[in-house]
């Protein structure tokens, strides 16, 4: 009985080293913790359910009849390990290395396999989340509607003549060009801003000068000014 008590005391003393409020579990001289270094350790029959062994070096370990259900083995090195009659159900094996490992009669139900190196060296992405394809199609932005911001028609002097010139000036926004027409005549194209002279008949009849802005989206709203010749 005295020897048994001493053995228990020794186990507690080892586990309590380091002053941590929650001491690491030690199994078979292997500290069960993230990034632990336990190559060749014997973890036969150990209950490591939900253990965090992220990035652990468990190469060539003996995991016969070991319970690792729900354990986090992300990026762990399990190369050459003996995994026989073990329980790895729901374990996270994302990025884990199982190359050269012996795996027989082991429960892998629900285990996450993504970027996991299998025993034959190939990569298993069975459990990786689906990749969302990014739509790289460039959506062309339609140009804004062209519009006239100013349109000025000068006075027409028909004294003693049958026709005279009238000055026209304009400015636009979002336009690449304008079309200017007198009455129903075919329009003439001009730049998006500028001025020109238009010949108008002095026949005492009213005449209309129309300007229409346009760009790649099509024509904008036209504007019309009347010219009096009487």
Structural domains of the chain in order of their starting residue, each with its CATH number: 25-128 (2.160.20.80), 147-227 (2.60.40.10)
Q: Is 190 exposed, middle or buried (0-12, 13-18, 19+ CB in 10 A)?
A: middle
pLDDT of residue 131: 72
pLDDT in tens, 45-82: 999 999 999 999 999 999 999 999 999 999 999 999 99
Beta bridge partners of 164: 200
pLDDT of residue 141: 65
What whole-number distance in Å separates Cα of residue 144 and Cα of residue 90?
56
| Strand duo 177-182 + 194-201: pairing | unpaired
Q: How many CB atoms lie within 10 A of CB 23?
A: 14
């Amino acid at each position: 009985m005295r020897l048994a008590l001493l053995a228990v005391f020794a186990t507690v003393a080892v586990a309590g080293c380091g002053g941590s409020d929650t001491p690491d579990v030690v199994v078979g001289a292997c500290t069960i913790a993230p990034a632990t270094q336990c190559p060749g350790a014997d973890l036969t029959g150990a209950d490591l359910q939900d253990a965090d062994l992220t990035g652990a070096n468990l190469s060539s370990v003996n995991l016969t009849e070991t319970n690792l259900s729900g354990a986090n083995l992300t990026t762990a090195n399990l190369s050459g390990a003996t995994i026989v009659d073990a329980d790895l159900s729901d374990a996270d094996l994302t990025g884990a290395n199982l190359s050269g490992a012996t795996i027989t009669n082991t429960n892998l139900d629900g285990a996450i396999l993504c970027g996991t190196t299998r025993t034959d060296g190939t990569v298993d992405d069975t459990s990786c989340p689906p990749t969302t394809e990014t739509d790289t199609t460039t959506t062309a932005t339609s140009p804004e509607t062209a519009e006239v911001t100013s349109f000025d028609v000068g006075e027409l002097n028909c004294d003693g003549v049958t026709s005279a010139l009238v000055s026209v000036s304009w400015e636009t926004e979002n336009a690449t060009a304008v079309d200017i027409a007198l009455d129903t005549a075919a329009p003439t194209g001009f730049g998006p801003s500028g001025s020109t002279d238009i010949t108008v008949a002095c026949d005492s009849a009213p005449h209309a000068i129309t300007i229409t802005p346009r760009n790649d989206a099509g024509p904008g709203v036209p504007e019309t000014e009347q010219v009096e010749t009487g």
